[in-house]
Amino acid sequence: MQTILAIDDSPEIHALLDVRLRPEGLRIEHALTPAEGLAMAASLQPDLILLDVEMPGMGGMEVCSRLKADPATSMIPVIFLTGAEAVDIKVRGFDLGAVDYVTKPFDPAELRARVRAALRTKRFHDMLAARAQLDGLTGLWNRGYFNQRLADEVLAVRRYGRVLSLVMIDVDHFKRLNDGYGHPFGDMALQRIGETLSTHSRATDAACRYGGEEFAMILTETPGDGAMIVAERVRFAIEAMELRPKGKPVLVTASLGVIDAAALGDPAAVTSEAMLMGADAALYRAKEGGRNRVVRGG
C-alpha cells in the first residue's frame, strides 16, 4: 500500500483529504505543523507529500526547500495544496522541485487524478532505481547498493548502537572451474550461489554480489555468533549444490569470512572500511586454512 503524507495546518483539510482519497486504497498520514511534517517525512518515507503552501511560521515553500535539500527526503514527490492562482507562486514551487499543484477547494476527481499520476510516476521511478542496483547475472544487489547499504548500517551502529555483522564469500578455485568447464558453467554456478544467499537472507538483510566470484551478506541485528551460524549454513548449502556439467558432478565450495561490529570495539570507531577489512582478513585466513570453511574475525 502506498503512503501519502499530508502537511496542512487545517484539520478540516485533513478530514476532506481522507474522504476524497479513501477510494484510492491509500494510507494517509497527517501532520498539522511544518516541523511535524518534516520529521514524519524523514521517518515514514512516504510515496507522496501533499503540502499546504500557506501555513503559519514556516510556509510550504520553505518546507519543500528543506525536503529537497535533505538526501533522505529529496526524492519524495511533492504536490502543493493552495488557494492561490498566481502564476509566480506556481513557478516558484516547480523551481523548488514540486511535481504538481492542486487548487483549493478541491475538485474530487481532479485531486484523485493528480495523486494517481504522481504515485504512478513514483512507482516507476522506484522500479527503475531498484533495477539499477541489481546484479544482472545473479539478481542480487550489486556493488553500488552494497557500498551504500553498508554505510547506512554502519551509521546506525554508530548512532544507535545497532547490532551488525558482515559476511564476505569467495568461490574456491573459480578460475579453475571456468577453465575446466567453460564460462557458461561458471555463470550457472554463480547464479545458483546467488539463489542460495537469497534463501538464507531475511528481508532486513542484504545479499550482494561484490564482484566477480565474490559475494557479501549484510546481516542486520545479528551478532557474531548468529552470523557464524548463517555463514556455516551458506557454506554447507553451496557445497551441497548439485551441478553436473556434461553429466558429471562437480563440487563447488566457498570460503567465508565473518566480522561483527562489536568485535571492532567502540561503536563510534566502526566504519565501513573497518568492517570490510575485518571480514576480508577472516576470509583470507579461511583460504589459507584450506578453503571451504568459515572463519570469524576480530
- Active site residues per annotation: 213
What is the Cα–Cα distance from 165 to 224, expressed in whole angstroms? 6
- Nearest by Cα to 214 from 140, 158, 124, 109: 140
Contacts for 75 with CB less than 8 Å, ≥ 6 apart: 125
Tell me the C-alpha distance between 183 and 214, whole Å.
16
Residue 105: is the preceding peptide bond cis (ω within 30°)? yes
CA distance 58 to 62: 6
Which residues are 141's β-sheet partners? 134, 208
At residue 79, the 3 state secondary structure works out as: strand
